[in-house]
Amino acid sequence: KYTKFSISYYWINSLGQKTSIYHRSENVVIPPGKENETATISYNHRIMPLQTSSSTGTYYCDVKWHDIQIMGKGVFVLARGTGYVETSYGWEVLVTLTALLAVLSITATALLLWKRK
């Protein structure tokens, strides 16, 4: 009963539209003596390079037996037209915070000295 099944790959875009990517049927031969044992078989599918940023969405895989369907949790893919450049504001924030603390420190010292006179 569970030796014949189909595997489907598809994605759902931000509008909730489902697009089929790939579908295949399998018929697994069970070796003698392994009839009532649980088996795990891995199937890999490579998605070709995304053409446009409209390929953004959640990609899924599901397997269907006769009366059972199991769907994967999905993988979200964000496609960008020009590539992703990570921006780092670490140094800018550190310099700004240091300068702000220095100005506040100098101002507080000046106010204390002025009030003391």
User: Are 72 and 17 within one domain?
Assistant: yes
Whole-angstrom Cα distance, residue 80 to residue 41? 33
* Total number of domains constituting the chain: 2
Same domain? 57 vs 12 = yes
Q: Are residues 12 and 43 in the same domain?
A: yes
On whether both 98 and 69 belong to a single domain, the answer is no
Do 62 and 112 reside in the same domain of the chain? no
| pLDDT score for 103 | 94
- pLDDT tens digits, residue range 60-91? 889 998 888 988 898 888 776 666 667 777 78
Do 29 and 61 fall into the same domain?
Answer: yes
pLDDT > 70? residue 47: no
Same domain assignment for residues 9 and 53: yes
| Closest CA relative to residue 62, chosen from 19, 18, 12, 6 | 6
Whole-number Å distance between alpha carbons of 65 and 26: 10
Residues 48 and 95 occupy one common structural domain: no
Query: Are 70 and 32 in the same domain?
Result: yes
* Res 44 pLDDT > 80: no
Q: Do residue 16 and residue 66 come from a single domain?
A: yes
Check: pTM over 0.85? Answer yes or no: no
Pairing of strands 57-64, 4-12: antiparallel
Is the same domain home to 61 and 9? Answer: yes
Same domain, 9 and 64: yes
Domain of residue 24 covers 4-77
18-27 vs 4-12, strand pairing mode: antiparallel
Token readout for 48 is: 């070709």
Enumerate the β-bridge partners of residue 59. Answer: 11, 75
